[in-house]
Amino acid sequence: MSDRFAFEVLREDPSGARLGRLVTPHGAVETPAFMPVGTLGSVKGLTPRQLDEVGADIVLANAYHLAQRPGVDTVAALGGLHALMGWHRPILTDSGGYQLMSLAELVRVEDEGVHYRSHVDGHAGLFRPEDAIRAQEALGVDVAMSLDECVASGTPRERVARAVARTTAWAARGLAARTRGATAVFGIVQGGFDAELRAESAAGLTALPFDGYAVGGLSVGEPVLETTRVAAAAVGPLPRARPRYLMGVGTPGDLLRFVAMGYDLFDCVLPTRNARNGMLFTRDGKLVIRNARHARDARPVEEGCGCYTCARFSRGALRHLMLAGEMLGAVLSTLHNLHFYLRLMREFRAALREGTFPSRAAVACGAWA
C-alpha cells in the first residue's frame, strides 16, 4: 500500500465516462465507484465483513457528526476511524457543510466559520474550515472534504454568490491548515443552479492545489432536469487528472447518466435508507416488499441476483420480516440494495474496459436506464 494519494485515468470513453484508479494508504479503489454511506461510522445494519462481501471498496462518513458524537479526540484515542469502524479499506469523510445546512435553525454562518448549537447535547461551538481539516486528519481518513457553504434550493442569487465566495475563501484556509500528507483533500464546487456562479466557484477552487474536486449542492430538493443541467456544466472545468466526485446522488439511472459525464465517485443514502423502508432496487425497477402481492411469492427479490438475500430468502419471507419489525428484514434489504448498486458499478467499469459503454451499462441498469 502507498502512504500517499494518487489517481490515474486508465481509459476515457467517447461518451465522457472514465475508467480510473485511486490509490490511498488503505488500498486502491477502481473508479467509477459508489460509496456506501456510514455517517456516524457505521453503514446501518451491516458489518464490515458484509460490506466486503457486497463489494464495497470505500465508504463515506461525516466529520461534523463524528465530532459531535463520540468526539474526534475519542475516535483518535480508539485508534482512528478505521479502527472504530473495524474497516480496513479507504474512508472518505464529508466535512459537514450539507449537514450544517440541514440543521439551519441551530447554526449561524459567518466568514469566520459556522457557529452552531449541537443537535446532540446542545453545546455551542464554532466550526471553522481549519477545524474541518484538522478533525478529518485526526480521524485518520484517506480523503477529507473542504468545508463548504451549501445553500438550499431556491436561495436568491445574491445569497448563493456570497456562499460561493465564502466556500472559496474557506477552501484556501483549510488547505493552509493541512499537516498530514496521507490525507487527501478535495474542494467542493458550489453555485446553485447558476451556471456563471458554478464556473466562478470551479475557477476559484481549481486554482488551489486540491487532490480532487467535488460538485456539491445538487441533492437539496432540486428537479432532476436541473440537477442534470448543472452537473453537466460543472464537470467541464474540473481537471482531467484529478478525481471528480458528484455528491449525494442518486438512482441507478442517475449513476449511468453522471458516469457518462465523466464523474468518478458517488455517494447516496437511497440504497440503505430505502432498504430500511422496504423499497428494493432490481433491474425491473423498484420493488415495494411490503405490498400484499408478495405475501406468498417464493421468488427471490431479483432473479439471477447473486446476493446473500436473494440466495437464501424469498420475497414472501422478506415481507414477513419487514412487517414484523424484525431487524433481519432491514439487514437483508440493505444487503440486496448495496449489492445491486455495487454490482452496477462493476458492470460500468467492465463496459469501460471493453469499450462497450454505455450500451452494456444501460443493460445493467435495466428499467432504470
User: 5 versus 103: which is more confidently predicted?
Assistant: 5
315 within a domain of the structure (yes/no): yes
Of 233, 267, 301, the one marking the end of a domain is: 267
Q: Which domain holds residue 366?
A: 269-369
The answer, yes or no, to whether residue 221 has pLDDT greater than 90, is no
Query: What percent of the chain lies above the pLDDT cut of 70?
Result: 99
Predicted pLDDT at 101 = 72
Please give the Cα distance from 216 to 264 (Å, whole number).
14
Least confident of 220-234, 281-295, 331-345, 352-366: 220-234
84 within a domain of the structure (yes/no): yes
- Nearest Cα to 26, choosing from 246, 182, 214? 182
96-148, pLDDT tens digit by residue?
887 777 787 888 999 999 999 999 999 999 999 999 999 999 999 999 999 99
> Are 67 and 36 part of one and the same domain?
yes
Please give the Cα distance from 141 to 40 (Å, whole number).
14
Which grid cell is 367?
428499467
> Are 128 and 229 part of one and the same domain?
yes
Residue 1 pLDDT level (bands cut at 50, 70, 90): very low
> Are 203 and 320 part of one and the same domain?
no
Of 236, 267, 298, the one marking the end of a domain is: 267
Catalytic residue chosen out of the listed positions 57, 148, 211, 267: 267
For all residues of the chain together, what is the average pLDDT?
Answer: 96
155 within a domain of the structure (yes/no): yes
Q: Which residues contact 244 (CB under 8 A, 6 or more apart)?
A: 212, 213, 214, 215, 235, 238, 262, 263, 264, 265
Helical (H) or strand (E) element with 308: helix 308-312
Please give the Cα distance from 268 to 275 (Å, whole number).
13
Q: What is the pTM of this model?
A: 0.97
Helical (H) or strand (E) element with 172: helix 157-176
Predicted pLDDT at 220 = 60
301-338, pLDDT tens digit by residue?
999 999 999 999 999 999 999 999 999 999 999 999 99
Q: Give the 3-state secondary structure percentages of the chain, helix then strand then coil, rounded to 5.
A: 45, 20, 40
CA 51 and chain centroid, separation: 15
Tell me whether residue 267 is one of the annotated catalytic residues.
yes
Catalytic residue chosen out of the listed positions 13, 94, 131, 254: 94
